[in-house]
Amino acid sequence: MSLFDPTTLSELRAVLAALRQGSPVVLDVPEDVRCQLLQRYVDVSQRNAGLSLLSFGLVLFVAADAAPWWPRVLAFAVMFAIAIARHALVRRWRSSAQAQAPRFDRRHDLLVILAMGLWNSAPFALEGRIPASNLAVVVYAAQLSLTVLAVSHVAAQPASLLASLFSMVALVTFHLHQGTLMSAMMALSTVTLTFALQSRMSDNHRTLLKALAADRQNALLVKELERLRQQLETENRLLGLSLRDASQAASRDALTGLFNRRHLLAQAPAMAELVATRHAQVVVCMIDIDHFKSVNDGYGHAVGDAVLRQLARGMTERLRDGDCVARLGGEEFVALLRGCDLHAGRRLADLLRESVAATRMETEAGDLPITVSIGVAQWAPGEALADVLGRADLALYQAKHKGRNRVEAAEPALATPGRG
């Protein structure tokens, strides 16, 4: 990767801008992505704090066992206090972090630098106090700490760059202080390693940002798909309600709310099939309001409509749940009484007639007495709806002819081959 590559220069500017504002992560990303970077930085920082404390203790009490004990205990106590403070600051950040405006406590970053300072000062403090071989172990441990720090902070390139440079300067200074060719080569290798690590970190950081951007885009797509799914469900539900309302409107009488002739004709084949094949008993009632023309002529159609609506409501309440009432038109109605023979059907029709006669219709012209005449017929197996309606209508004519406000039954029909 070239230092003068436009992408590299852009990343470097982003890192420098973050460092100027004291941010451990880059700032030229969406705020939710920035919050994820901070979260990863915090998680790695927590793990590194424990690892650093453990390795620092091994260096002080194993590799540097020949040094005076109290400075080592003091240095370890300071490192332990730093780890505790970092943990407390991280817990506070996690409890108050907001994806809309992610911030991080700079005291935590200062503690990280202080911990690195303890690591980097260890070779200087132990030089001449422990054997050279042990001092080499201490230097190697500091070099390893630099490597772990650079590699692990892939989400926090600004923090990684600052920490790596800080450690590199300290280690290079120590090597050059030795004044030997070997130490000079070690200093050069430290510089080379640091820049190689940062180059690799830059690639990894770029890959991480692309992955987080893709995750963010996927999350937005999922959210948009969920919104569209809910919108589609709402539209389907509304469409279903509209279709149901349209279906009901097509099968209902607009004035009375009862089923209409269209619905009655649509149900006829199924009802005829029940009568023919399952021997279901159905009685058909033709119902007509007596002298209804005089109501319309004398009081107007508005009063007539009010009478029709109240009569429809009264019949619906009086008949059983399984029965069906439909308006054929004008003042004519049809009731299909299921589960009863001609005798029981005639009795139900008579109860309905008595109920209507006992009820006065409340209208704007006052309470009007209304009576109905009813003709009933037993639906015979194989008989079409038109035929049974014809027989019921003939019985209705007889009821009208015999004085109205009465029920007449048609003669039973002979069973014929199924006709629908």
Our answer to whether residue 224 is catalytic in this structure is no
Nearest of 297, 291, 299 to residue 367 by alpha carbon: 299
Inter-CA distances, 320 with 345, 349, 370, 380, 409, Å: 12, 12, 22, 21, 20
Token pair for residue 160?
């990684």
According to DSSP, the residues that pair with 362 across neighbouring strands are: 367
- Is the separation of the CB atoms in 56 and 118 below 8 Å? yes
Residue type, 374: I
- Is the separation of the CB atoms in 56 and 79 below 8 Å? yes
- Is the separation of the CB atoms in 125 and 71 below 8 Å? yes
Size (the chain), residues: 420
Residue type, 268: A
Q: What does the angle CA 184 – CA 175 – CA 56 come to, to the nearest 5 degrees?
A: 145
From the candidates 11, 331, 383, 408, give the one annotated as an active-site residue: 331
Strands 332-338 and 324-329: antiparallel
Q: Which residues are catalytic?
A: 331
